[in-house]
């Protein structure tokens, strides 16, 4: 069974992701936000383990943070634009970290750390 099959089998749902491109500045120097696009992902949603919570920076330990396992690469905040925002239930969760995980026998997925209601 492939890792994608495992994610699909244990998926907790299909989630909508909103991705905003990099903004630009107009001729007057005013920042213009880029348009956004949406797509769906299949993922396994889990709470963070105690060990992972302890490893978070001290200012983030009280923040509601979860872990998604998905086959889709998601964007974090970087020089190219805002991070992806995942809708879980009716709430927005911002992608903080997206780490690839490759199984020794082949196949890969992404471990995505998301934070509820963080400013994008």
Asked whether 65 and 84 are in contact (CB, 8 A), the reply is no
Give the pLDDT means over successive 10-residue stretches in the chain (120 positions): 72 91 85 88 85 56 80 83 91 93 80 79
| Structure confidence at residue 82 (pLDDT) | 85
| Structure confidence at residue 42 (pLDDT) | 94
| Structure confidence at residue 54 (pLDDT) | 56
| CATH classification at residue 29 | 2.40.10
| Structure confidence at residue 74 (pLDDT) | 94
| Structure confidence at residue 80 (pLDDT) | 66
Domain of 90, in residue numbers: 3-116
Contacts of 117 (CB under 8 A, 6+ apart): 64, 91, 92, 93, 94
User: What total of structural domains would you count in the chain?
Assistant: 1
In angstroms, what CA-CA distances link 64 with 39, 47, 92, 111? 24, 9, 12, 17
pTM > 0.85: yes or no: no
User: What span, in angstroms and rounded, lies between the C-alpha atoms of 39 and 87?
Assistant: 11
User: What span, in angstroms and rounded, lies between the C-alpha atoms of 61 and 16?
Assistant: 26
Lookup: tokens for 60: 């983030």
| Structure confidence at residue 81 (pLDDT) | 73
């Amino acid at each position: 069974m492939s890792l994608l099959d495992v994610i699909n089998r244990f998926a907790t749902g299909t989630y909508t992701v909103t991705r905003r491109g990099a903004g630009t500045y107009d001729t007057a120097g005013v920042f213009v936000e880029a348009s956004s696009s949406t797509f769906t992902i299949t993922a396994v949603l889990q709470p963070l383990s105690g060990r992972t919570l302890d490893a978070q920076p001290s200012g983030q330990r009280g923040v509601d943070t979860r872990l998604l396992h998905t086959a889709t690469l998601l964007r974090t905040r970087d020089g190219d634009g805002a991070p992806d925002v995942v809708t879980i239930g009716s709430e927005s969760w911002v992608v903080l970290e997206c780490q690839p995980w490759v199984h020794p026998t082949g196949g890969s997925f992404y471990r995505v750390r998301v934070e509820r209601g963080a400013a994008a």
